[in-house]
Amino acid sequence: MSAASGILVVDKPADWTSHDVVGRVRRLAGTRKVGHAGTLDPMATGVLVLGIGSCTRLLTHLVGSDKEYLATIRLGASTTTDDAEGETLGWAPAARVRAVTPQRLQAAMAHLTGDIDQVPSSVSAIKVDGRRAYARVRAGERVELAPRRVAVSVFEALAVREAAGPGGEAALDVDVRVACSSGTYVRALARDVGVALLTGGHLTSLRRTRVGPFTEADARPLPDLDVARALIPPAAAASALFPVLELTPGQASDLGHGKRIVVDAPDAATAAAIAPDGRLVGLASVRAGAARTIVNFPEEQSFPGVGPGREELRGRAR
């Protein structure tokens, strides 16, 4: 029997890199087989989903999941990184900042909602000729990235308040909620709202509240993290991501040995194949009444777990 596996949802603290979190969890879990499903910037906090053991195989499917964020955009200045960690490029005249009305703000945000072509921040992790864009920028190179098609399903202002720059410059802080497809840069939304309003804009805070079916309610604080108790079992995680294929004992055995099986189930490109005892047998494709294995999961030791169960996560995913 192999070591325990599962999905772990961590509440990443500020000033930690995603790699730092992976390193801490590797030590706590006693295994190097730990990965994460989507980087968070050091300044960002919130939901970071990790896979341990065989559940690292699920991370590929989670990377493409939609995400939600709470953020604060400061209107009045642009920065070199589109967030508060970069150098300020200049402040807009106070009269221009004060001319931002709720109606103009809403119109600018509406223009950035839906399917849009977004130019990522130049300090993103996107590779340009084999090197990360941020590494090229830090080396003094000028980097221009091509627009990418992304989907922003929600971009709404929750609150607006007056603020000031370090020298007393006029500014507005806008608290926002964003729901978007994978690959969307909230920093770029902040930049582009500022461009639309002729004030400049950058991000001052960012918290990720959801990745696919996993929310901040599932996230465990890093300082007192108990991996064994927080781990979400493979079957619960896979059932949240895919349609469920309930197997008989014989089907579970055959599918686990790589055999094609006959099933009474709707077609699915990927389904979570679950044994009668609740174990994840593997991921399978279902077509025309037959199922075949995409990837098998070993019979594994399970940590007790206090995370959400299969039915709760499946409900969120729907």
CB atoms within 10 A of CB 294: 14
Residue 60 belongs to what H/E stretch?
helix 59-63
Distance CA(242)–CA(61), nearest Å, equals 10
Residue 49 belongs to what H/E stretch?
strand 45-52
Residues 206 and 287 in one domain: no
Q: Is the pLDDT of residue 312 over 80?
A: no
The CATH number for 160's domain is 3.30.2350.10
The residue count of the chain comes to 318
Average pLDDT for residues 246-253, to the nearest whole number?
A: 97
| pLDDT for position 297 | 93
Least confident of 42-46, 60-64, 100-104, 259-263: 60-64
Least confident of 4-18, 124-138, 192-206, 212-226: 124-138
Distance CA(293)–CA(307), nearest Å, equals 27
Distance CA(260)–CA(244), nearest Å, equals 17
Of the three residues 178, 211, 244, the one that is the final residue of a domain is 211
Distance CA(239)–CA(229), nearest Å, equals 20
Q: 201-223: string of b/e by CB count within 10 Å (b at 16+)?
A: bbbbbbbbbbbbbbbbebbbebe
Average pLDDT for residues 263-275, to the nearest whole number?
A: 96
Residues 111 and 241 in one domain: no
Distance CA(234)–CA(282), nearest Å, equals 9
The CATH number for 283's domain is 2.30.130.10
Angle between helices 310-317 and 234-241 (to 10 degrees): 20
pLDDT digit string, tens, across residues 57-112: 999 888 889 999 999 999 999 998 899 988 899 999 999 999 999 999 999 999 99
pLDDT digit string, tens, across residues 120-177: 887 666 766 667 666 666 666 677 788 999 999 999 999 999 999 999 999 999 999 9
Domain-located, residue 189: yes
* Angle formed at CA 44 by CA 40 and CA 49, multiple of 5 degrees: 40
| pLDDT for position 169 | 97
Least confident of 128-132, 184-188, 241-245: 128-132
* Angle formed at CA 187 by CA 111 and CA 66, multiple of 5 degrees: 75
Domain ranges, residue 256: 234-317
Burial degree of 13 (CB within 10 A; 0-12, 13-18, 19+): middle
Domain-located, residue 52: no
Domain-located, residue 217: no
Residues 180 and 259 in one domain: no
Domain-located, residue 173: yes
Average pLDDT for residues 47-56, to the nearest whole number?
A: 95
- Selecting among 15, 20, 41, 173, the annotated active-site residue is 41
Residues 180 and 293 in one domain: no
User: What percent of the chain lies above the pLDDT cut of 90?
Assistant: 78
> In the annotation, is 41 catalytic?
yes
